[in-house]
Structure formats: structure tokens, C-alpha cells
Chains A and B, each alone.
Chain A
């Protein structure tokens, strides 16, 4: 009964290993091991350089932001498969609007695109009780198709310098903007998950929906909220793609949903709801970026990268599963 009390406190590694539920913290172990292996074998290829480290952060920022929001979705025992498509759609909406109407309308339109799709997802799940898996699977195709349709498959360049600076192109001195976005998202996510009533309600809804409802929690509203948040976060990620790559394209974010979900699960959030580990999610996301980066430095082809990445994800998730 007492063993559960020390989980969040730092302790000696041996104590951590024996007393903690190490399976739910597999991500930290995996992260350190892979990092050390890459440092040894790829050190001469520039793996450890500051620039490369910052690159990993830059490349994973969009995944991290979507994954923080996805942590809430999965903690509430729902899923959002449409995040990658929403990011693509938001990137073209924001790019087109910025070009036509200027900076502020462009930003508003981008976020609105994600909010609308998120609200539709949430509304269908909360009101019509359609499983989120099906709703967002449909939305994955719908949003991607929409993005391709309204742009006639053409890239939408962004020439607004301020936009590019805000959304990931710029640096704050030595600190890349993408790092700032990541830190803000993670800090906000952690605070909301662990220190607000909303976070508790999300965990309760995912942990035992009947008990949550008996306690007076409006679980339908919670489900709506997490999917709305996920849509908005995906839109911001799409805008970061647009800013960093100075254009909106329907392909941005394609397939990200799998990376995002893998990052969240690797981070220790239960796929069955009730648990949400924001810091774990950050490391899950960085882990995905780390592997990408290492495999590229190691000179693997894209096809080989996919195979290795898939195998590593399966292994880590299998290890993190409780008996």
C-alpha cells in the first residue's frame, strides 16, 4: 500500500528500478539508452553537436504540440486520428488567408480551421456517441481531401516575414522559436493535466466513466473539450509547418497521427484512459525525433528508416505494457 506513494519523487536509480513501476517509465530508459548508443556510434557524424540537438527539437516541435493535446484525448479514453490532416488543412488555410487578407486574419483562420474540425469531431463523439476512432478516421480523409481540393494540390507560399518569424522560422537569440513553442505547450499541458480541475475530470472520464458521471462530471462535455483542444493544437502544428517551411501544403502533417499516438503511448499514457503523462509524452516525442535523426545520420534509406522505426516503437510499446 505504501509502494505507490513514492512514484513522483526522485530516488536512486536502483530504488527507482525496484520500487517504481518501471514499465510505465520505459520511455526515459529507452531515451537514455538510445541517446548513449547514438552518441557512441554517431558522435563522429556530428550527432552530439549543439546544432544537431537543436535540429531534433525543431523537427519534433509539431509532433510534441500535437502529442501534448493527444495526451488529453487518450487520457479520456478517446483517440484522434485526424490530427495530421488537420495540420495540413490549417497550413493551407492560414497560408491562403495570410496572403489575401494579412497576418492577423491568417492566424485566426488557421486556428479556426482546427477548432471547427475539432468541434465537429467532439460533437459527434459527445452528442451522437459515435466512437472517436470512427469519427476521426473519417475526418482524417475528409480534412486531407479538403486541403488538397481548395488548393488544387498546389503549394501556398507565405511571404509575410512576421508570420514566418512567429511560427517557427525565427530564433530568440540562440533559442529557436520551435523550442519556445514546445516548452510553452508542454508547460501548459502539464499544468492543466496535473493542477486543474479540468485535468482531473479528463482523467476521471477516461479512468471510470460511470464513476465520473456519478460524481457529477459531465463526461460528454469533457470528451468534446479534449477533441476540440486536439483540433486546435493540430492547427497550430500545421501553422508551424507553414511558418518553418514558408508555405502551406496539403501534405504537411500527413501520417503524423501515428507518430503522435506512438509518442503518447511510449510516454506512459494508458491507451485505456485514466492516465496522462505530459512529460512522458514530451520524451516520447523527442524519442521519435531522436531515432529519425540518428537513422538519417547513420545513412539509412527512407525505407530502411521506416522499418527500424516501426520495430523500435513496437518493442517499446510491448515493453511498456502491463501484464
Chain B
């Protein structure tokens, strides 16, 4: 079969997309070939999602052409895209939680039986057939809200397949998956490839891209800066293309000349709590950033919750400035100078419908008063100050924060809490889903904060950034902490990874 002569499944040429005066895509070309995994990379705001939404009919292109299997197509809405055979697995899941798996797969294309009535059983059988073909076990009659997020994704893939999609777009598909679920997804991607389905794989994770993708297109500021086969590229080359002129070496440790006799700000001794924590001890001196490493479920987040007063320890003691504390509520912890930046910014860190300004000033409203009422001027000044100081890229600080990219949202979260003047900042996965450029900026903010004599507990599963920012690292395994590793103890990232994996490896 002369595969080379076949036109690509999708050929996009000179795609331009503007939102008002802002050009988000500037003449983007991209070919997606049947049976390949095509990685799409770039920083947040580079135009990845917009490009895919254009293909999916969520947005309309300003100019340019799209061909599907050699035929020019006009995609004005999602129905057009569907007819052209393009399916999308959305990052923000797009299922109806209250409906069953089968009902979701065939939503708006219900299988009809007698008298034109919806035939759920036929839909269930059809769904079962799709899942069998994929080698996955999901009950088509199960309600989606009762399924884990890994299954949601499978349901979305099945939904796309049921529409005979020849191109499936996966936007950060592993973001909410556990390790073994990621393996299952990769197996599934292999199955789809064998069927000749093209997959566009949007991801920030180099290891995943290098593992599953055949080709890669990198976008920066709305332009294609790299389009190549993945096998010929090193991770460093890809990263360089993504972040451009900035050096990848931003993720390098900077010695901030800590003095060993700075006072101890936070001390935890043998902390245990009901659930996961068995015995965790660590100390953080003024000016120090302590990294907390460990696998998912090792007790990292649980420890952060205890320090922030959300959970109470069943054993052990917590001291601040050498004085023992017992926090009854998170507010008590805040009053003692502890701020927690939680893991999930969308759920816990931000009010998404509110503006950047409202989100920034929410924790410090008490300071924004003049004569008992909120002072608009103080609010405006504080917002301007924070937006500048933390380099938040927002075209309008009074527009809803949901319009910002993930990295900028996270900057707002960090800015908001640092502005409350805490002395101990606990950060749980502060850079997840954030592009490398923003990541280095956040790390700088953290370093700067610590250098002013504050303490930081930095929790992360990304070792490069942990190694870049932490002055010492505590590894936690199955609820127990090791002795802290100082910089000279850490030989390499690989060795640290082995320590974290511990007996489980």
C-alpha cells in the first residue's frame, strides 16, 4: 500500500485566529496523518487549545484552510467537525454526570427503537461493543458520576469512536490519572493507532511525548517553531523550542547562602493523623525552602493539611518559633502565619467566575477598608501592585479569572497568599499544569519570598523543579519521613527518584 500518496487525515494551512484585536494563531500549518500520534506542545497561551478548538468547531478560523482526507472542509460548529470525523477528548471533561455511560456516548444521536422511542438497551449493547474493541471494562449502564475520572476519559474516547472519528484530540489526557491508568491509556492509544486513527496528543510532559508520540509540533506565541519526528529529538531540544530564548537551565538550583544558625520557624515532630500519616518530622529555618517528595498517596498532602490546620494530628507536635501550636481551624493556622496553596487551584484556590482583582484581594479585604467600607482606590492600587509584582498576564484585571491561562491563574493564587504576609508558606504541587516559563517565574517568587526570612514547604512530584528550588529535601514514604537530605546528599535525580520509590520499586 502506497501510504505516502494518501493525503493526511487533516491538513491545516495558514490558520489564523483572532479574538478581537489579539491574534492567537498566526499562520499555523499542521498535518495530522492517519495512524500516528502527533504531539502538540507549547507553553500555556501558545495557542494549542485554540488550534484544537478551531479544528473541533468550538471557534471559527479567521483565515486559512482545513482539509480532511484531501477534501477542503469548512468547520463552523461542532456538528461540522463531527461530520468531518474529528473527535475531541476534552481536558475539562464534557460528559453529563447524571447520565449513564451509554446515554452519554449516544447523546444527541440516540439509537431509536419502536415508534421512534429511544432504545437504551441497544445503546448499551453498542457501547459494550466499543469497549470490547478497546479491551476495556466499563459497564455501559453505570452512571458517569459513579465512575473515576480515568473512566470518564475512556467514555469520551468511546463517544468519539462511536461517531466514527478518524482524528481524536487528547488534551492533557494524563493530568488526572494514576500511574497504572496512564499505562492503560498508552495501551489504548496503541490500539487506536493500529486502527488507523490519528491522535493529537497535547501534553506538557516530555517523558510522555517521547514515549507515545511519532511526530511533534511545537507552538510558541501562535506560530509553529518546531515540526519534526520525535525520535530524532532530545528532551532538551523540545524544551528549548517550547520556551524559546529563555534557557532551560532556569530549573537549576541557586544557592541562596543560608546561614545554618537561622532560627527554626517550623518544627514538626513525629506527626501522625488518622488516615495516612504515621510519623513525619521536619524543621524549616527562616529563609529556608524545604522540599517534600514522595509518591501519590505517601502522605504529602495529608501533612500539608495538618500544618495548615485543616486536619488535626493524632500524635506528634507542631511548633512555630519554638512554641507548640495546636490548630483547631485553618483560620487559627492563618493567624499563626501559615498559608496553604492547595493542590487543585480550580477547586480550592480560586473563585473562577470572579475577576483577577477580586481573587487577589479576597484574603486581605480587611486591609482594604476606609471608614468601615471597602475603598475602591485601595483595592485598585493593591491589584495593580500585585499584577505588576507577580507579572500576572491579564489583559483586563476585572475580567473573570477563568479566562486566564493555567499558569497565570496559578500566579494569582501564589500572589494572593504571599500578599497576606504569611511567615510559613505551604505549597502543594504549585506548578502542576503550568508551562516551563511560568514555572521558573513561580520558583523565583518562592525563592524571593523565602529570602525575606520566611519558611517554605514545597511539595512536588516533579523532581527537576524540586531540585531547583529546595535547600533540603525530605522524602516521605507510606506516611513516614526520612532524615532530610541536604544538597550534598543528593547525587542525582535518578538516585532521588529511587529513594522516593523506596521499597515499592
Query: What 5 A-B pairs are tightest by C-beta distance, nearest first?
Result: A274-B98, A207-B96, A211-B94, A195-B117, A4-B146
Contact yes or no, B95 A211, CB < 8 A = yes
CB-CB < 8 A to B151: which residues of A?
A: 1
Q: Would you call B96 and A208 a contact (CB within 8 A)?
A: yes
Interface residues of A in 101-140 (CB under 8 A from B): none
CA distance A194 to B79 in the complex (A): 24
Is the C-beta of B110 less than 8 angstroms from some C-beta in chain A?
yes
**Complex CA distance for A201 and B97, rounded to whole angstroms:** 14
Closest residue of chain B to A217, judged by CB? B108
Q: How far is the CB of B391 from chain A (nearest CB, A)?
A: 30
Are A204 and B107 in contact, CB atoms less than 8 angstroms apart? yes
Q: Contact between B90 and A214 (Cβ–Cβ < 8 Å)?
A: yes
> Do residues B108 and A5 form an inter-chain contact, with CB atoms below 8 A?
no
Q: Taking the nearest CB of chain B, how far is it from the CB of A315, in angstroms?
A: 25
Contacting residue for B108 out of A194, A216, A270, CB 8 A: A216
Give every chain B residue within 8 A of A152 (Cβ-Cβ). none
Nearest B-chain residue to A273, judged by Cβ: B98
Q: A224 vs B326: C-alpha distance in the bound complex, in angstroms?
A: 55
What are the interface flags for A183-226 relative to B under an 8 Å C-beta threshold, 1 for contact and 0 otherwise?
Answer: 00000000100111101110110111011111111000000000
Is A1 a contact of B146 with CB atoms below 8 Å? yes
B382 within 8 A of A: no
Q: In the bound complex, do residue B95 and residue A208 qualify as a contact, i.e. CB atoms below 8 Å apart?
A: yes
- Contacts A214-B58, A215-B94 known; 12 new A-B pairs at CB < 8 A: A7-B143, A197-B108, A200-B107, A207-B99, A208-B94, A208-B96, A211-B93, A211-B95, A211-B96, A212-B96, A214-B88, A215-B78
Counting chain A CB atoms within 10 Å of each CB, which of B77, B78, B90, B96 scores highest? B96
B145 closest partner in A (C-beta) = A4
Tally of chain A residues near chain B (CB < 8 A): 30
Question: Shortest distance in angstroms between A67's beta carbon and chain B's nearest beta carbon?
Answer: 19
Residues of chain B with a CB closer than 8 A to A4's CB:
100, 139, 141-143, 146
Query: Does any Cβ of A come within 8 Å of B147's Cβ?
Result: yes
Cβ contact within 8 Å between B96 and A204: yes
Known pairs A195-B117, A200-B103, A204-B99; A214 contacts B94 (CB<8 A): yes
* Residue in A3, A217, A270 whose beta carbon sits within 8 Å of that of B98 in the complex: A270
Interface-centre pick from A1, A7, A201 (highest chain B CB count, 10 A): A1
Give the distance in Å from the alpha carbon of A196 to the alpha carbon of B112 in the complex: 9
- How far apart are the CA atoms of A200 and B100 in the complex, in Å? 11
Interface membership of chain B positions 72-113, coded 1 if the CB is closer than 8 angstroms to chain A and 0 otherwise: 000001110010000010101111111110010001101000
Q: Does A51 contact B (CB under 8 A)?
A: no
9 contacts between A and B (CB under 8 A): A1-B138, A4-B142, A200-B103, A201-B108, A203-B99, A207-B99, A215-B94, A217-B108, A274-B98
B296 at the interface (CB under 8 A from A): no
Is A196 a contact of B118 with CB atoms below 8 Å? Answer: yes
A44 CB-CB contact with B under 8 Å: no
Residues of the A chain whose Cβ atoms lie less than 8 Å from the Cβ of B100: 4
Contacts of B92 in A (CB 8 A): 210
CB atoms of B108 and A215 under 8 A apart? yes
Chain B, residues 1-22, CB within 8 Å of chain A (1/0): the string is 0000000000000000000000
Does A2 make an interface contact (CB < 8 A)?
Answer: yes
- Asked if B98 and A207 make an inter-chain contact with CB atoms under 8 angstroms apart, the answer reads yes
Which A residues touch B108, using CB under 8 A? Answer: 197, 200-201, 204, 215-217
CB nearest to B95 among chain A residues: A211
Docked complex Cα distance between A200 and B98 (Å): 11
Q: Mark B103-129, 1 if CB is under 8 A from A, else 0.
A: 100011010000011100000000000
Alpha-carbon distance between A214 and B110 when the two chains are bound, in angstroms? 16
The total of chain B residues at the interface (CB under 8 A) is 31
Kindly list chain A residues whose C-beta atoms are within 8 Å of the C-beta of B138: 1
Q: Bound complex: CA of A214 vs CA of B147, how far in Å?
A: 21
Q: How far is the CA of A1 from the CA of B139 in the complex (A)?
A: 7
Instruction: Give the chain B neighbours of A208 by CB distance below 8 A.
Output: 94-97
Q: Are B98 and A275 in contact (CB under 8 A)?
A: yes
Contacts of A210 in B (CB 8 A): 92, 94
Q: Mark A5-20, 1 if CB is under 8 A from B, else 0.
A: 1010000000000000
CA distance A270 to B118 in the complex (A): 22
Chain A residues whose C-beta falls within 8 Å of the C-beta of B98 in the assembled complex? 203, 206-207, 270, 274-275
Nearest CB in chain B to that of A272: its residue? B98
- Within 302-317 of B, Cβ neighbours of A (below 8 Å) are at none
Residues of A within 8 A of B107 (CB): 200, 204, 212, 215, 217
Binary B-proximity of A258-277 (CB < 8 A = 1, otherwise 0): 00000000000010001100
Bound-state CA distance A4–B100 (Å) is 9
* A204-B96, A207-B98 given; A5·B139 CB < 8 A: yes
CB <8 Å contact, A191 and B82: no
**In chain A, what residue has the closest Cβ to B88?**
A214
Contact partners of A212 in chain B: CB under 8 A: 96, 107
Give 1 or 0 for each of B50-87: 1 = CB within 8 Å of chain A CB: 00000000100000000000000000011100100000
Q: Measured between alpha carbons, how far is A194 from B119 in the docked complex, in Å?
A: 10
Whether A200 contacts B110 in the complex (CB less than 8 A), given A1-B146, A4-B141, A4-B146, comes out as yes
Give the residues in chain A near B143, CB-CB below 8 Å: 4, 7
Chain B residues lying within 8 Å of A206, measured Cβ to Cβ, are 98
Give Cα A195 to B92, complex, Å.
29
Query: Which of B78, B97, B99, B116 lies in contact with A216, CB distance below 8 A?
Result: B78
In whole Å, how far is B222's beta carbon from the nearest beta carbon of chain A?
24
Nearest to B53 among chain A residues (CB) is A214
For window 54-69 of A, CB contacts with B under 8 Å fall at none
Contact, CB under 8 Å: B97 / A274: yes
* B97 and chain A: residue at smallest CB distance: A207
Q: Are B141 and A203 in contact (CB under 8 A)?
A: no
- Candidates A3, A203, A204, A215; contact of B146 at CB < 8 Å: A3
Tell me, rounded to whole Å, the shortest Cβ–Cβ distance linking B165 to chain A. Answer: 13
Would you give the shortest CB distance from B443 to chain A, in whole angstroms? 33
Q: How far is the CB of B215 from chain A (nearest CB, A)?
A: 27
User: Complex Cα distance A29/B177, Å?
Assistant: 39
Distance, CA A203 to CA B144, complexed state (A): 13
- A211: chain B residues within 8 A (beta carbon): 93-96
Residues of chain A in range 273-293 having any CB-CB distance to chain B below 8 Å: 274-275
Q: Please tell me if the beta carbons of A1 and B94 are within 8 angstroms of each other in the complex.
A: no
Question: What distance in Å separates the Cβ of B206 from its nearest Cβ neighbour in chain A?
Answer: 30
Give A34 to B223 CA distance when docked, in angstroms.
68
Pick the residue among A5, A191, A204, A274 that contacts B117 (CB under 8 A): A191
In the complex, the chain A residue whose C-beta lies closest to that of B159 is A215
A217 vs B146: C-alpha distance when bound (angstroms) = 24
Closest CB-CB distance, B150 to chain A, in whole Å?
11
Closest to B151 in A: A1
For A197, the chain B residues whose CB sits under 8 A away are: 108, 110, 118
